[in-house]
Amino acid sequence: MLELACGTGEITQLVHNLGHEVTALDFFEAMLVVAKAKHADKTRLRFLHADAGQTMEPDGSYDAILCRCLVWTLTDPAEAFDDWFRILRPGGRLLIYDGDWAKPCPSGRWAAQILETWEKLLPDPNHDAAMGDLHGHIMKS
């Protein structure tokens, strides 16, 4: 299984614990450093520093691809989807779960305010301010 945009490896852990062999890919080296440290003792797990839109993985490499909170950030979604279907084996599955973070509904704005307050009270030691700036840039695009 390939996990695209694995970040710090939270979903990686869940999928791995279910018994899957996982390749966890992310574009940001800082995220991979944290993910690798979290999972240093695990087998059946490979980390890959690459662009999720152009994975450079061989054709038909994966039975499944998992994509969380990534599609909305893609500059060329059609190119990325072409690449993902290229690296899926025949009969493979692509699971995407995402949201429209650029236009949240009222409950989404409420949830964002709660999370913002939570972060002020209990800051995440792994938070990367540059990542927040990058996401802000993507949101304006």
pLDDT digits (tens, 9 = 90+) for 90-139: 999 999 988 766 666 777 778 778 878 878 888 776 665 665 666 566 55
Phi, psi of 135 (to 5 degrees): -65, -40
Q: Please tell me the distance from the alpha carbon of residue 50 to that of residue 105, in angstroms, as a whole number.
A: 32
The residue whose two tokens read 């994975």 is: 55
Tens-digit pLDDT profile for residues 81-91: 999 999 999 99
Measured distance CA(87)–CA(4) in Å, rounded: 12
Q: Can you give the pLDDT at residue 138?
A: 55
The span from the CA of 128 to the CA of 35, in Å, is: 14
Cα–Cα distance, 52 to 104 (Å, whole number): 24
Residue 9, CA atoms < 13 Å, CB-side half-sphere: 24
Place of tokens 């509904």: 105
Query: 33 in helix, strand or coil?
Result: helix
pTM: 0.73
Under 8 Å between Cβ of 70 and 98 = yes
Q: Which two tokens stand for residue 51?
A: 């662009």
